[in-house]
Structure 1
Amino acid sequence: MKFSENWLREWVNPPISTKQLVQQLTMAGLEVDSVEPVAASFNKVVVGEVISVEPHPDAKKLRLCQVNVGEDDPLNIICGAPNVHVGMRAPTALIGARLGDMKIKKTKLRGVPSYGMLCSAQELGLAESSEGLMPLPAPIGEDIRHYLQLDDVSIEIDLTPNRGDCLSIEGIAREVGVLTRCDMTVPKVSPVAATITDTFPVSILHPQACPHYVGRIIKNINAKAPTPLWMRERLRRSGIRSISAVVDVTNYVLLELGQPMHAFDLTKLSGGIQVRMAQAGESIILLDEQQVRLDEQTLVIADNKVPIAIGGVMGGLATGVTETTQDIFLESAFFAPNQVSGCARRYGRHTDSSHRFERGVSPQLQCHAMERATALLLEIVGGQVGPIIEHTDTSALPSPPTIELRSSRIKRLLGQSLDTAEVSDILTRLGMAITPLELKWQVRPPSFRFDIAIESDLIEELARVHGYNNLPSHAPQSHLIMQPQAGVTLEQIQTVLVQRDYQEAITYSFVDPKLQAKLNPEIESISLANPISNDMAEMRTTLWIGLLQVLLYNQKRQQHRVRLFETGLRFKAQNLHQEKMIAGIVTGTRWPTQWGQTEQGIDFFDVKADIEALLSSAGQNQDYRFVASTHAALHPGQTAAIYRGNEWIGILGAVHPSLVQTLELTPPVYLFELRLAPLCETQVPKFKEISKYPSIRRDIAVVIDEETNAAQLLDCIKQSATKTLIDCQLFDVYQGKGVEPGKKSLAICLIFQAFSRNLTDSEVDTVIGQVVNTLEQKLGAKLRT
């Protein structure tokens, strides 16, 4: 909401500076975004009247003007503006004037002296562009800054969605009056008596969406009449461009009172007004000249033939007011916030009207706004006024709740008690109806406060007006008991990957159905009823979709080494299930480019090591196992599922070559995805005794079938050995000369240690013999000699 400070001070004028006003508004929850002067810096610019215009003797586009600025003699000024004419009054910069960085001096143009400059609105900083001089109906010699009240600022407020009542000068003035304890000077709006009896049929077919509708006919207007300068200036200082007198009046009332209005060309309406839901197949060309196809959930204003406006959003082009319009039908209505909010978003038409209606406009404001707009229109464009046409469904109008406010609750939430008189005063000045009772109040909010519904809302209002800075500050007190760590936090898991050179990515939960079908065809997805776009029409069943798109974006920008992870939810249609996951994507070299070693491409086991580091963060790495698996999006020979016991935890692997080609990725690309819940589970660390006796290491090499994996071999060794075997590690894999085809040689390091004594070589030899026999019987392994 942007407005002029001078305009606000006509409503309420507290004895405080602009800086203090801005600070009070911000501290009351109406955050001020900017404070800007309404015009550029200039001086010595007065109103001058052109009394003669002659051609320049040596330049076709220049004119010699005699300008009366209220001094003894007129000034000779050379002007090139196309609209200069005798009798015109325009801003005139005198000798010595400054327009920003430019100083006006006596000059000669093609040999003719010029003693000043006739100015356009652009040169005065009152418009972004202009096509000629700025006409001014002002007294000759009047200082422009004084006449236009340019020692003013435009204040822009960033309102939260619950404060729709402050989207008007009246609403902000009400707040300032409450905060500063100043009375408001409300402009008097008297009912305009009808001078003609003409009416127009209006029927409300959907009162739940529009329970209050007000209209009025105004005939024989002069649509070409110019908008008064004072109104154009107030609109400009509020960030609204002047269009035409009729439209400017509706915009002015919107800014002043917060009631959106619309004017239709009466001669273009057929039969009557119907407020109804759109029918299948209907469409409308809006004022922005864009045609939209209407759905059956859209509230429209229609005549007896076609829709002429989307209710609360935008009017139609066909019935808009033009320069040839003589009769208008003026509309002022209350539309339900939930109806307008969904409608504006569906059609992508966020307007000043929808911005107010979706936050809530007082259902008691429509007639008042109609009278105000009518009076302004008669003053500017003239015409004959018909009686007000009003339709109301009281059962569908929102009714403010009656809320019980307890003094004990005030003290509990604010940390201090407030005087009974202060509470009553604040609530009354906020426009609320109160009934004082013993240690509590019965409060009924005004119709324009849609955000007041419960007791806490009232206490928030008391805190705002009383002043947050005036509330006591107490340190919180609590009896804390140390508890053992219940699990690994998400931050700890993320830190593990960050320490391994990953960066976190955040992508949308809405994804492209086509890409999702390629990545996860076996899982049924959830389709959105109202998607943002076609490529965001489903909820993701895997986090890989967003990561692949981020990788593709980076590779197209010559970023070849990418290591990303993401945490978030995946969604399944079955039972509307959602689950927290962590996923990653890796491509490029193992290390960043450096002088100490040659570049090495990333491989499957590098990514597996990263996942093992994740699993180790919970201290249960030994409980997990990697099993060869398949997945539609992954390479069939480089895919492993991760299990904890029989519980599926996640999967990793290289992206399938066909998918790499389809997405135009630079291979190799590795993906992983794991469930977060198991990763966050942990056990309280337990002390384990450290032996003081030396350990014994023995290495063995066995030949086994190529299909047998190392995990099976290590598990078999652990099961067959005694407790003295404290560790075993694979340190070499060999295939080639000396090993039969279809076989492989695995070299294992075995560490033995006892806790109560020294082990002997014979004891270790016995255990190794048991291990070798077991491997031969269960896996067909043979000791390599």
Structure 2
Amino acid sequence: MKFSENWLRSHVPIQASRDELAATLTAIGLEVEEVTPLGESLAGVVVARIVECARHPEADRLQVCQVDAGQGELLQIVCGAPNARPGLVAPLATLGTVVGELTIKAAKLRGVDSNGMLCSARELGIDADASGLLELPDDAPVGAPIAEYLSLPDASIEIKLTPNRADCFSVRGIAFDVAAACGSEVVAFDATPMPALNDSVLAIELQAGAEVPRFVGRVIEGVNAAVATPVWMAERLRRSGVRPISFLVDVTQYVMLELGQPMHAFDRDTLVGPIVVRHARSGEQTRLLDGRTVSLDEDFLVVADSQGGNAARAVALGGIMGGHDTRVTEATRNVFLEAAHWIPAAIIGRGRKLGLHTDAGHRFERGVDPQLPRQAVEVATRLIVELAGGSPGPVVEAVLPEHLPAPTRISLRRARIARLLGIEIADADVERILRALGMQVEANADGWQVVSPSRRFDIAIEEDLIEELARIHGYDRIPTTLPGGATRVAAPTETQVEAASVRRHMAARDYLETVNYAFVDQALLAQWGATERAVPLANPLSAELGVMRTRLLPGLVSALQRNVARQATRVRLFELGNVFAGTADAAPAETQRIAVAIQGDAAREQWDGKSRKADFHDLKGDLESLAAAAGARLDYRASSQPFGHPGRSADVFRDGQCIGWIGQLHPRLQRALDLDDEVIALEVDLAPLSARALPRAAELSRFPSVRRDLAFVVAEEVSWAAVSETVREATGPLFRDLVLFDRYVGAGVESGQKSLAMGLILQDNSRTLTDRDVEEVVTGVVAAMGRDHGARIRG
């Protein structure tokens, strides 16, 4: 929102300087983005009229002008502006005046005397236009100081508004906040109803229900639409970022900026009553003010007249833009003014559908005071009649009171203010602040009963009022204090490996951590076959971030894909994060997981070794090392996950519980992701992986261990995990370790069989093991292997 400083001060008298005003606005939540001073040093610049112009004898682009500056005699000025002409009224910098960094002196230009300088708006520092002289109205008083005539100096102030402060999209709305912060009061506003001088009306029908509960219209006849917009109005518009267009359009823009109510002026003679507010028909077309013809659907609201039948023609796009065929021009004699209350839900997103962004739509999307339409029509009527003549008819108002928001009484407790803010604000200050903000305040024993103004959609509960008090009273006046009471220091548990330790462990094994959005594309999850129990977002940031992730791997592999696309040849990534699974009747469940994805060589390039692609066993070793930190022993079983390579992926188990997956991605998925090389990945639930038993001190055995090497021939499909489990169970309390040191197939071993050679390590804490002890254990192991797996000792 951009506005003129002088315009604001006309609504709220304050003694604060410009810098203090800007600081105050920012402090109360209306962040000032830019302050542009206008016309700071214009002493010596006066209104002047060009009486004569003659071509310069030595320069084609220069003119010798005789200028009346109200000094009794004409001044000769050499001017190169293309719009210099007899009769033009423009600013003149007289001799001795400083304009920017230039001091105006008597000079000879190509041999011709020049005694001053006719100025453009840019040279005066009031606008960026340097295309020619600043043209002033013909009735501007010659000889008057330009600063006095244009109400200068001034400043254009631009503030950044949060979506909840739609009430500050007007000068008067900002004035209430400034009055409260500066201890002032907003000047009473003259919105005295203009009496009707004729009976001309247009009937209004509301057919959109709660979406447009109020629509106000008025006919004004005999208007001189060709009248020039007065300088004071044009300058206020220009300093607020709006270019003056024509008088009738400028009036509606002026009222919108001053009060916050968008409105529109129709050429009455182009309308056929009654006026109907309705939903657009599917495929209905209308031509807008910008000349574009747009096709609408039933989500749009339109203002229609009855040309061609009842409500047949859409003459404006409701809450967004007027129509081209019914626009006002300088030939307009009879005007129909309208101002309506369109609820935000009826306008949000409609302009973007058509690629439109208008000031009206911007305001209605955030909410406009439903009580403003009649006041806006009265103010606009007064301006039009006073400046362009005309005879107003009666105000016609169509309203659905049951759909208008009713004022809410909010209880504000004195004790609640102190509890939330940590300070006490004097009762007199509370009442002053709330009343300055335009609220009705009634004191009671516990505090106050407050009714907020209709423009403040953001105030609904007690905490909203307390926030207003803190904002205006000043956050800097709320002391910083440490929280009282003892704080409980939570000691880290020894039964879980901390996430920070997991991160350090993975970094030590040459992995880089990634952080991905918890929101992903539904289509990406579908590629992975991971859409089951996916939780959709009610208001996603974009279509590509529409659901909560059910797995970490889709986002992690996407990050790997982006690295590969940028010529990374060896990528090793991991991520710790939550996944989400929901049901229709329960809140989403969150599970913390760790995921890893690798592609490329197993080791960095070096001079003394051949490169080797990373494979399943490299990643499995990293997972085993992570599990070892928790004292965990993992088992692996063939997996049937749709995103895994058949025969090269496994489900990961701990203590009989499936905790995740490890393996190579399915070739079909790799092609879909545009990945040429194999990707090895894992995803495991972090809690069961990092759970560990409480450490217990135990005496180290003083007796030697014994190792026996055994080689079994077993069927090819028997896994080492199954063999290891059988050996452990058969060994009993003497078991210390089992090492697989050879796997052999070939001569001497039958087809479909394999030989597994292992070292069995035994030890007792109380005595030295005898050969008999060892042989009993070995005999039990051989028997168990034969029983469970049909294994035999290799001869």
Shorter-chain-normalised TM-score: which range? 0.7 to 0.9
Match of 1:422 in 2: 429
C-alpha change, 1:390 and 1:107, in structure 2 (3 Å) is same
Farther-moved stretch of structure 1 (375-384 vs 99-108): 99-108
Which residue identity is paired with 1:28?
Answer: I
Find out whether 1:188 has 2:195 as its counterpart.
no
Distance 1:495 1:103 in 2: 69
Find out whether 1:639 has 2:646 as its counterpart.
no
Which residue identity is paired with 1:433?
Answer: Q
C-alpha change, 1:629 and 1:369, in structure 2 (3 Å) is same
Match of 2:308 in 1: none
Q: How does 1:23-172 map to 2 (within 5 A)?
A: 23-38=23-38, 46-69=46-69, 76-93=76-93, 117-129=117-129, 131-137=131-137, 138-140=140-142, 144=146, 147-172=149-174
Contact persistence 1:729–1:748 (CA under 8 A): yes
Which residue identity is paired with 2:26?
Answer: T
Distance 2:62 2:482 in 1: 75
Which residue identity is paired with 2:247?
Answer: A
Q: 2:334 aligns with which of 306, 327, 330?
A: 327
Q: 2:598 aligns with which of 586, 603, 613?
A: 586
Match of 1:376 in 2: 383
Match of 2:789 in 1: 779
**SS of aligned partner of 1:65:** strand
C-alpha change, 1:185 and 1:779, in structure 2 (3 Å) is same
Distance 2:41 2:566 in 1: 46
Q: TM-score, normalized by length of structure 1? A: 0.86
Farther-moved stretch of structure 1 (6-15 vs 228-237): 228-237
Number of residue pairs matched by the alignment:
781
Distance 1:599 1:484 in 2: 45
Q: 1:691 aligns with which of 692, 700, 715?
A: 700
Q: 1:669 aligns with which of 679, 684, 708?
A: 679
Contact persistence 2:706–2:769 (CA under 8 A): no
Distance 1:54 1:231 in 2: 34
C-alpha change, 1:646 and 1:441, in structure 2 (3 Å) is same
C-alpha change, 1:169 and 1:573, in structure 2 (3 Å) is same
Structure 2: unaligned runs, 5 residues or longer: 306-310
Which residue identity is paired with 1:82?
Answer: P
Match of 1:261 in 2: 263
C-alpha change, 1:637 and 1:332, in structure 2 (3 Å) is same
**Residues 170-196 of structure 1: CA distance to partner in whole angstroms, max 9, x if unpaired?**
122111212222122234233222333
Which residue identity is paired with 2:7?
Answer: W
**Residues 44-89 of structure 1: CA distance to partner in whole angstroms, max 9, x if unpaired?**
6554432322234455444333444556875554444332211212
Which residue identity is paired with 1:169?
Answer: V
Which residue identity is paired with 2:359?
Answer: D
**SS of aligned partner of 1:723:** helix
Match of 2:722 in 1: 712
Distance 1:558 1:43 in 2: 65
Which residue identity is paired with 1:650?
Answer: G
Shift of 1:507: 3.7
Distance 1:750 1:724 in 2: 10
Which residue identity is paired with 1:334?
Answer: H
Which residue identity is paired with 1:621?
Answer: A
Contact persistence 1:580–1:675 (CA under 8 A): no
**Residues 297-351 of structure 1: CA distance to partner in whole angstroms, max 9, x if unpaired?**
4433333113333433333444443454443322112222333336556666554
**Residues 103-122 of structure 1: CA distance to partner in whole angstroms, max 9, x if unpaired?**
77777766666665544334
Shift of 1:403: 2.0
Q: 1:629 aligns with which of 618, 639, 647?
A: 639
**Residues 372-402 of structure 1: CA distance to partner in whole angstroms, max 9, x if unpaired?**
1222233444433222111222222111222
Distance 2:486 2:295 in 1: 62
Match of 1:602 in 2: 614
**Residues 100-146 of structure 1: CA distance to partner in whole angstroms, max 9, x if unpaired?**
56777777766666665544334545444554322124444555455
Farther-moved stretch of structure 1 (362-371 vs 302-311): 302-311
Distance 2:117 2:214 in 1: 54
Match of 1:173 in 2: 175
What is the CA RMSD across the aligned residues, in angstroms? 4.0
Shift of 1:214: 0.9
Contact persistence 1:506–1:566 (CA under 8 A): no
Contact persistence 2:180–2:432 (CA under 8 A): no
**SS of aligned partner of 1:390:** strand
C-alpha change, 1:520 and 1:172, in structure 2 (3 Å) is same
Match of 1:338 in 2: 345
Q: How does 1:4-15 map to 2 (within 5 A)?
A: 4-15=4-15
C-alpha change, 1:578 and 1:766, in structure 2 (3 Å) is same
C-alpha change, 1:759 and 1:264, in structure 2 (3 Å) is farther
Shift of 1:199: 0.9
Contact persistence 2:535–2:580 (CA under 8 A): no
C-alpha change, 1:662 and 1:477, in structure 2 (3 Å) is same
Q: 1:367 aligns with which of 363, 374, 378?
A: 374
Match of 2:439 in 1: 432
Q: TM-score, normalized by length of structure 2? A: 0.85
Identity, % of aligned positions = 41
Match of 2:303 in 1: 301
C-alpha change, 1:150 and 1:504, in structure 2 (3 Å) is farther
Q: How does 1:679-758 map to 2 (within 5 A)?
A: 682=691, 685-693=694-702, 696=705, 698=707, 700-730=710-740, 733=743, 742-758=752-768
Q: How does 1:393-472 map to 2 (within 5 A)?
A: 393-472=400-479
Distance 2:251 2:360 in 1: 14
C-alpha change, 1:760 and 1:238, in structure 2 (3 Å) is farther
C-alpha change, 1:15 and 1:109, in structure 2 (3 Å) is closer
Farther-moved stretch of structure 1 (446-455 vs 70-79): 70-79
Shift of 1:704: 3.8
Which residue identity is paired with 1:341?
Answer: I
**SS of aligned partner of 2:482:** coil
C-alpha change, 1:677 and 1:67, in structure 2 (3 Å) is farther
Which residue identity is paired with 2:21?
Answer: L
Contact persistence 1:518–1:632 (CA under 8 A): no
Farther-moved stretch of structure 1 (761-770 vs 83-92): 761-770
Distance 1:525 1:466 in 2: 46
C-alpha change, 1:478 and 1:223, in structure 2 (3 Å) is same
C-alpha change, 1:108 and 1:732, in structure 2 (3 Å) is farther
Distance 1:502 1:735 in 2: 39
**Residues 422-448 of structure 1: CA distance to partner in whole angstroms, max 9, x if unpaired?**
333333333322332223322222222
Match of 1:356 in 2: 363
C-alpha change, 1:226 and 1:58, in structure 2 (3 Å) is same
**Residues 534-575 of structure 1: CA distance to partner in whole angstroms, max 9, x if unpaired?**
766777655554445544444443344443637354567876
